[in-house]
Amino acid sequence: MYDAIVIGAGPAGLTAGIYLARGGAKTLIIEKESIGGQIASSPLVENYPGFKSVSGSELVDTFYEQVVDLGVDIEIGEVKSIENGEIKKVFVDNAVYETKTVIIATGVKHRKLNLEKEEEFIGSGIHFCATCDGPFYKNKVVAVVGGANSAVINAIYLSSLCDKVYLIYRGKDLRCENKLKEKVSKLQNVKILLNSNVTQYLGVDKLERIVVKDLICEKEIQVNGLFLSIGMDPETSIKLNLNKTDNEYYDSVDTLTNLPGIFVAGDCRNKNVRQVTTAVSDGTVAAINALNYLQN
């Protein structure tokens, strides 16, 4: 029996684990993929207080070490559903855990273009994490799809490895910070294609070419790899076994839901700003709310 189970080991979940453990709660964090969430794959973080510049993996390592040192249990597994009650049941793969409180911090999932062959080529030419998979394309040609900060950061990082990087964005101008825009524009091996969309993936067993359509025409571009950086959607797939629509419970205020003892934190929560700093804030507030619930 746990006092608290946190679902998700991103910045929100790890921060919640720190505060729960310091508050004396026996805590389990369950993560279905990799520790750190999306920020762990970022090659560069420059907007987190205390670090002028740090990679996402380095930042997450500091969170993780603190959580482990405090004695929080961490398990890898996918939570399928939560059964609400005075004692909540969390169903994970073939196991069931009991707890008094739950913090849902499942984060976000990558958006896709939903083109033919996309699912087939993921991992075989199509990727989401530049720091994870970029080294496979050293001295090769890649494309990055997207125009916000994450896409431009990925293009800058890949430019240090690859012979050529196409940065493809559907808008008329990049949506990133001016500092990043200036930096990427100066890179000789980065070609920025604005007002452009990828419309086809071509290849046999792996991605070999893409079709890009701009305002004038369509053309094929030969690439060895492509990185999708077109945003995220909240991960709200966990079933709560309730009568209401599950997604309603992600519209929480101050991490509170209308279910006693169940809280929501981080990017899965319905909110306007999704940054590592706001995720950490949510994790703090959710943990304090959970500790207050446990004391009542």
pLDDT tens column, 200-226: 999 999 999 999 999 999 999 999 999
The answer on 281 and 216 residing in a single domain is: no
pLDDT value of residue 104? 93
pLDDT value of residue 129? 86
Asked if residue 160 lies in contact with residue 75, where contact means CB atoms within 8 angstroms, the answer is: no
The answer on 221 and 236 residing in a single domain is: no
Mean of all residue pLDDT scores within the chain = 90
pLDDT value of residue 272? 73
The answer on 133 and 223 residing in a single domain is: yes
The answer on 289 and 265 residing in a single domain is: yes
* Residue 111, both tokens: 């958006």
Compute CA 79 distance to the chain's CA centroid, rounded to the nearest angstrom. 17
CA dihedral (171, 174, 175, 179) in degrees, to 10, reads -170
pLDDT value of residue 243? 41
Q: Which domain holds residue 138?
A: 118-228
Q: What ranges in the chain are assigned the alpha helix state H?
A: 11-22, 56-69, 118-121, 130-133, 149-159, 178-185, 276-295
pLDDT, average across residues 30-43: 82
Residue-wise pLDDT for 62-72, tens only, equals 999 999 999 99
Q: Give 123: exposed, middle or buried? Use CB within 10 Å, 0-12, 13-18, 19+.
A: exposed
With a cut of 50, say whether residue 270 has pLDDT above it.
Answer: yes
Residue-wise pLDDT for 95-134, tens only, equals 999 999 999 999 888 899 999 999 999 989 999 988 888 9
Residue of 4, 11, 7, 3 lying closest to 283 (CA atoms): 11
Distances, alpha carbon 65 to alpha carbons 28, 71, 258, in Å:
15, 10, 33
The answer on 149 and 96 residing in a single domain is: no
Asked if residue 135 lies in contact with residue 161, where contact means CB atoms within 8 angstroms, the answer is: yes
Compute CA 137 distance to the chain's CA centroid, rounded to the nearest angstrom. 22
Asked if residue 170 lies in contact with residue 147, where contact means CB atoms within 8 angstroms, the answer is: yes
The answer on 265 and 176 residing in a single domain is: no
The answer on 283 and 139 residing in a single domain is: no
Sign of the C-alpha dihedral computed for residues 178, 135, 125 and 109 taken in this order? negative
Residue of 296, 293, 290, 292 lying closest to 29 (CA atoms): 290
Asked if residue 235 lies in contact with residue 108, where contact means CB atoms within 8 angstroms, the answer is: yes
End residue of a domain, out of 228, 247, 266: 228
The answer on 41 and 12 residing in a single domain is: yes
43-47, 92-96, 138-142, 152-156, range with the lowest pLDDT: 43-47
End residue of a domain, out of 228, 254, 281: 228
End residue of a domain, out of 228, 255, 271: 228
The answer on 32 and 101 residing in a single domain is: yes
DSSP state, residue 142: E
CATH number at residue 193: 3.50.50.60
With a cut of 80, say whether residue 247 has pLDDT above it.
Answer: no
2-6, 90-94, 159-163, 249-253, range with the lowest pLDDT: 249-253
The answer on 258 and 238 residing in a single domain is: yes
Total domains in the chain come to 2
> What is the pTM assigned to this prediction?
0.70
Q: Give 141: exposed, middle or buried? Use CB within 10 Å, 0-12, 13-18, 19+.
A: middle
Of 237 and 241, the structure prediction assigns the larger pLDDT to 237
